[in-house]
Amino acid sequence: MKLGGNFFEDLGPGQLLRNPVPRTLGEGDRSLYIALTGDRNPRNCSDEFARSLGFERAPLHDLLVFHIVFGRTVGEISLNSPGNLGYADLRFLRPVFPGDTLRAETETLGWRETSKGDTGVVWVRTTGFNQRDEHVLQFYRWVMVNKRDPGTPTVADDAPEMPAEAGRAHLAHLPYPRIARFDASATGGSAFWEDYEPGERLAHPQGMTIEEAEHQMATRLYQHTARVHFNQHQQQASRHGRRIVYGGHIISVAHALSFDGLENVVGMAAWNGGSHTNPTFAGDTLFAWTDVLERIDIGRDDLGALRLRLVAVKNADPSKEALPLKVTGEDGRERYAPNVVLDLDYIALIPKRAVAV
Amino acid sequence: MKLGGNFFEDLGPGQLLRNPVPRTLGEGDRSLYIALTGDRNPRNCSDEFARSLGFERAPLHDLLVFHIVFGRTVGEISLNSPGNLGYADLRFLRPVFPGDTLRAETETLGWRETSKGDTGVVWVRTTGFNQRDEHVLQFYRWVMVNKRDPGTPTVADDAPEMPAEAGRAHLAHLPYPRIARFDASATGGSAFWEDYEPGERLAHPQGMTIEEAEHQMATRLYQHTARVHFNQHQQQASRHGRRIVYGGHIISVAHALSFDGLENVVGMAAWNGGSHTNPTFAGDTLFAWTDVLERIDIGRDDLGALRLRLVAVKNADPSKEALPLKVTGEDGRERYAPNVVLDLDYIALIPKRAVAV
Amino acid sequence: MKLGGNFFEDLGPGQLLRNPVPRTLGEGDRSLYIALTGDRNPRNCSDEFARSLGFERAPLHDLLVFHIVFGRTVGEISLNSPGNLGYADLRFLRPVFPGDTLRAETETLGWRETSKGDTGVVWVRTTGFNQRDEHVLQFYRWVMVNKRDPGTPTVADDAPEMPAEAGRAHLAHLPYPRIARFDASATGGSAFWEDYEPGERLAHPQGMTIEEAEHQMATRLYQHTARVHFNQHQQQASRHGRRIVYGGHIISVAHALSFDGLENVVGMAAWNGGSHTNPTFAGDTLFAWTDVLERIDIGRDDLGALRLRLVAVKNADPSKEALPLKVTGEDGRERYAPNVVLDLDYIALIPKRAVAV
């Protein structure tokens, strides 16, 4: 691992990087995840409920697993990054429990210098493993990375095509135990897979204000070290003048907010894609809504999938005012409205009515 | 569970609500409780000391158990609440250990619309259970709840009488192991049950300033979701213009401060009653004192009980200035002084001299 | 333990104080330590990696052990302290694992009233024990303590000599398992003991901004109660007008920053000495560098020691500007530059090339 991290010039395609610092997860990580994000899904916090779903005990939150695997890769991929541009084909491949040790490997897939010449985009695929070398997670992402030497052009112009969505084959072989019975009194929800209609918008009535100490603690918990999140001395000279909240924390908070309104989710199966569309800063209050895009039958009689769009906005309450997702600028180009901070296309798992008790 | 929570109109008497989201507690919750409140009682943080008291290992803090059970009930009872008005007859019925899973049930006992007609008071009794369906906690509380439709009067006028104090029968059958020997070198205290005199005021010399990130993390840890604690976007339009600290966090911080001065407490047995008398905000510094109200012999030779009044004040140090508990307003009515934020009448357990080593 | 803590007059030499509140450490403490400091050393966070080093599982961070033992002593030694002046001969004597219970004993060794007469310096030696009464840590420190009665002079003038460095005998009998094989892909480092050269300066490129909630949570986690860290109501009348960050938190953050640049450290063996040279406040951004002072062969073929000087500075990035360690004042006296906040002389353990795989 290079001191100060890799720069764009270091990240040409075809490399397989063993990302350092394996990490054993435990009960402390579970509690901190709840304290920092507000997660209330009983699948993640009740051993009793998780056993009723077929697990030995409560798995750790899927997004905690994502953050830990992502955190492994920052030192080599995105320490010198002004921002992560997007995700594709993220698959949750196996539940993770306290005591498991995660590590990551990342392949560089492509790169392209930006027109200004001071940065470039790097495409990578990361795989997370547990201590038995079983795959627990994989995802593609592309990220802006600073050049070490902005004055010297590279010939990097090799942008790979990203998967348009997570493979349907993945959904057909989900590593999810068979649900014998689903007691909705534990979740407080009443909607099952059959009740969600494509086109429906689910409101999430709560809002959550983010503090500096909170996003810093979350990001350090994941051992994610990108300096834009922690170093105010550096950031006060930046365009924003402030530390930027790790985009993954936004995903976690928005997903926790969705517990009110998006009922009976028992796990994430995959992400098709996602973007951090604007930065979030301490003091911002997050709100979220979910659009139901598609109801997917995965060939099980206990469990179905929903393709969802989770949108997070800041400092505006979508239950009180109409908020456009995108706006057209003076240049005629359409872009995300300035208070939209997340647009995530993902697949959630919801029990079918047949297992309701 | 209704999206956005119940309103006053939903909470008529005679309902039994199974509050959702069972929660398994673990070592992470113990550590976070210490980090957020400053608790130092070795009964809660030393397995060795707890074994000397007769426990298998250190139980979780009684107040952590309270907060977790309370947190279960917020979604159905107090999500739309401007404030909790009081508690009565709270009983700690069984110690809770890491690995236990708690759930809650709440009965609605009575309701009364307020004279202004936009809110009402709801009286409830909540019971907390562990995974063996054993009772771990019960309490009464009454809470102000917003009406869904302030313009339409209800006929709700059915205020039940609350127990004046926790039952003495509870104290006679406490689920507390027999203390064989009590080594006060572990607590640093020298006072035993016999040494506390009714009428005595115990000073607690420390003060603790509360930060937004701290009370938010504590309240999320308890999966308590009332928006007044988290949503600055909403709160800036409120009377206070700020987020309000969860009253339970004030109880925990004040109780932790009482460790210096109220010596050798080995647990809470019950609360007779309690009120959050004024709101607390981030930046406020809390202080506390304890008045000894009564020494209660519970018929054991190892352990006695003390009826105590724990008062918390903000931004004034009771060891440096005389602070009135109540003041008389221009209207001639007596009310709590504006910097008094908690008045809790509770029963603590203290070993008798006979078991001192 | 005296209410309000001991004052200078109470701390004459020759006392052996059994410091109260034994503390069982667990997985929650490990997670919080990572979240609060940013530690990424896999020896402390990966059971798999720790086993490859010869441990049964990942030990808790050496500095977490230090903070917990230190925290035990505050109530009797430094509750009324304007500041800790220095450390000497600190030895890590045995690894600590989740489930271990730590306690502390402190001997008072000497005292000297300061010329102004309102405070004095107290010299002590603290020993930390686990639940098997095995020594896990010992250290000397000297600390300024307020007098109870500033107007009455004492005759205290008995300053003991402090050890100039941690005993070399300690290094010859380190309680460190034999390292069979060292897989540097887990650390991301490439430097081994033989690669470090005395005189070398190691840059640590990251910076970390400290928030009030973070240092308060860390300090409470250690059950360290000195009021300068928590009580803004008191502190606003002080010289600084603000809460002061616990010096130990600075050591932890600086040490975590050193992970980038000081490669393949597998533990701390000892401190020769250390000083908190200026106060740190919330909002300050910490940076650090390490000077290699000496390479010490401890007679093992798997493991060597490095004597290092860890310097932390605030609000200035040593990778971008030359920062003097000391400056000469108008009075001609040399003192630490005002942004230097830590000067720690310690001994780290690094594997030798022979065990690299």
Convert the pLDDT of each residue in A283-338 to its tens digit: 999 999 999 999 999 999 999 999 999 999 999 999 999 999 999 989 999 999 99
Name the percent of chain B lying above pLDDT 90: 92
Residue C42 pLDDT greater than 60, yes or no = yes
Nearest residue of C to residue B215 by CA position?
Answer: C213
What's the token pair of residue B164?
Answer: 């004046």
Give the span between the Cα atoms of B227 and B82, in whole angstroms: 10
Strand positions, DSSP E, chain A: 16-24, 83-92, 101-113, 119-129, 135-146, 157-158, 201-209, 267-275, 285-296, 303-314, 326-328, 334-336, 340-351
Closest alpha carbon to B250 in B223, B274, B225:
B274
Q: Which chain A residues have any C-beta within 8 angstroms of a chain B C-beta? A: 26-32, 34-38, 40, 42, 45-49, 58, 185-189, 203, 205-209, 211-214, 217, 260-261, 283, 285, 287, 315-317
Residue B288 pLDDT greater than 80, yes or no = yes
Nearest residue of A to residue C283 by CA position?
Answer: A232
- Cα-Cα end-to-end distance for chain A: 52
Helix C62-77 vs helix C27-37: crossing angle, to nearest 10: 90
Residue C1 pLDDT greater than 70, yes or no = no
**Tens of pLDDT, residues A122-165:** 999 999 999 999 999 999 999 999 999 999 999 889 999 999 99
Give the span between the Cα atoms of B249 and B33, in whole angstroms: 10
For residue B213, which residues of chain A lie inside 8 Å, CB to CB?
Answer: 211-214, 217
In chain A, DSSP finds a helix count (H) and a strand count (E) of: 8, 13
Residue C32 pLDDT greater than 60, yes or no = yes
pLDDT band at C175 (very low <50, low <70, confident <90, very high): confident
Mutate to test the interface with A, among C34, C200, C323 (most CBs of A within 10 A): C34
pLDDT at B262: 98
**Tens of pLDDT, residues A45-54:** 999 999 999 9
Nearest residue of C to residue B189 by CA position?
Answer: C1
Task: Give the distance from CA C176 to its chain's centroid.
Answer: 20
pLDDT at A163: 94
User: Region A225-231: what's the mean pLDDT?
Assistant: 92
Inter-residue contact C270 to C171 (CB < 8 Å) = yes
Shortest alpha-carbon distance between residue A50 and chain B (Å): 10
Q: Which residue has the tokens 């980038």?
A: C260
Handedness of CA B94, B97, B103, B106 (dihedral sign): positive
pLDDT at A79: 87
Q: Do the Cβ atoms of C209 and A217 come within 8 Å?
A: no
Q: Which chains touch C (3 or more CB pairs under 8 A)?
A: A, B
pLDDT at B174: 92
Q: Alpha carbon of A353 to those of A169, A182, A191, C22, C356: distances in Å? A: 24, 9, 9, 52, 56
Nearest residue of A to residue B131 by CA position?
Answer: A48
What's the token pair of residue C117?
Answer: 């007469």
Does the predicted model carry a pTM greater than 0.80? yes
Domain residues of chain B, as ranges?
1-25+60-160, 165-357
Residue B125 pLDDT greater than 60, yes or no = yes
Q: Which chain B residues have any C-beta within 8 angstroms of a chain A C-beta? A: 1, 3-4, 18-24, 26-29, 31-32, 75-76, 98-99, 101, 103, 131, 211-214, 216-218, 220-221, 223, 225, 227, 230-234, 243
User: Region C17-21: what's the mean pLDDT?
Assistant: 97
Mean per-residue pLDDT of chain C: 96
Residue C227 pLDDT greater than 90, yes or no = no
Nearest-CB residue to A30 (from B3, B26, B101): B26
Q: Which chain B residues have any C-beta within 8 angstroms of a chain C C-beta? A: 26-32, 34-38, 40, 42, 45-49, 58, 185-189, 203, 205-209, 211-214, 217, 260-261, 283, 285, 287, 315-317
Residue B5 pLDDT greater than 90, yes or no = no
CATH number for the C172-357 domain, one of 3.40.50.300, 2.60.40.10, 3.40.718.10, 3.10.129.10?
3.10.129.10
CATH 3.10.129.10 fits B165-357, yes or no: yes
Category of B302 on φ-ψ map: left (φ > 0), alpha (ψ -120 to 50) or beta: alpha
Residue B227 pLDDT greater than 90, yes or no = no
Q: Do the Cβ atoms of C214 and A217 come within 8 Å?
A: yes
> Which neighbouring-strand residues pair with C175?
none
Residue B90 pLDDT greater than 60, yes or no = yes
pLDDT at B102: 98
pLDDT band at A1 (very low <50, low <70, confident <90, very high): low
Shortest alpha-carbon distance between residue B68 and chain A (Å): 12
pLDDT greater at residue C31 or residue B5: C31
Nearest residue of B to residue A319 by CA position?
Answer: B4
Q: Do the Cβ atoms of A32 and B27 come within 8 Å?
A: no
pLDDT at B237: 94
pLDDT at B67: 98
User: Under DSSP, is residue C146 helix (H, G, I), strand (E, B) or coil?
Assistant: strand
User: Under DSSP, is residue C354 helix (H, G, I), strand (E, B) or coil?
Assistant: helix
**Tens of pLDDT, residues A175-200:** 899 998 999 999 999 999 999 999 99
Domains B1-25+60-160 and B165-357 share a fold: yes
What's the token pair of residue B218?
Answer: 């504590």
Nearest-CB residue to B220 (from A38, A189, A217): A38
Residue C2 pLDDT greater than 80, yes or no = no
User: Region C22-41: what's the mean pLDDT?
Assistant: 98
Shortest alpha-carbon distance between residue C193 and chain A (Å): 17
Mean per-residue pLDDT of chain A: 96
pLDDT at A342: 98
Shortest alpha-carbon distance between residue C196 and chain A (Å): 15
Category of C56 on φ-ψ map: left (φ > 0), alpha (ψ -120 to 50) or beta: alpha
Residue C330 pLDDT greater than 60, yes or no = yes
Which amino acid, B204? H
Which residues make Cβ contacts (< 8 Å) with residue A53, sequence separation at least 6?
A: A43, A177, A179, A182, A266
Shortest alpha-carbon distance between residue C230 and chain B (Å): 5
pLDDT at B27: 97
What's the token pair of residue A107?
Answer: 């392949």
Q: Do the Cβ atoms of A26 and C29 come within 8 Å?
A: no
Residue B1 pLDDT greater than 60, yes or no = no
> Which architecture characterizes domain A8-147+164-355 according to CATH?
Roll (3.10)
User: Region C138-148: what's the mean pLDDT?
Assistant: 96
> Which architecture characterizes domain C1-25+60-150 according to CATH?
Roll (3.10)
What's the token pair of residue C340?
Answer: 């230097």
Name the percent of chain C lying above pLDDT 90: 91
Complex ipTM > 0.90: yes
Task: Give the distance from CA A312 to its chain's centroid.
Answer: 12
pLDDT at B26: 97
Query: How many Cβ pairs closer than 8 A exist between chain A and C?
Result: 127
Closest alpha carbon to A221 in B236, C256, C108:
C256
Mean per-residue pLDDT of chain B: 96
Nearest residue of A to residue B282 by CA position?
Answer: A211
Which residues make Cβ contacts (< 8 Å) with residue A321, sequence separation at least 6?
A: none
Shortest alpha-carbon distance between residue B254 and chain C (Å): 13
Helix C212-221 vs helix C247-257: crossing angle, to nearest 10: 100
**Tens of pLDDT, residues C208-224:** 999 999 999 999 999 99
Shortest alpha-carbon distance between residue B233 and chain C (Å): 21
Closest alpha carbon to A190 in B2, B21, B71:
B2
SS3 percent helix, strand, coil of chain A, rounded to 5, is 20, 35, 45
pLDDT at A60: 98
Look at strands B16-24 and B101-113 and give their pairing.
Answer: antiparallel
Nearest-CB residue to C101 (from B34, B48, B211): B48
Assigned superfamily of B1-25+60-160: Hotdog Thioesterase (3.10.129.10)
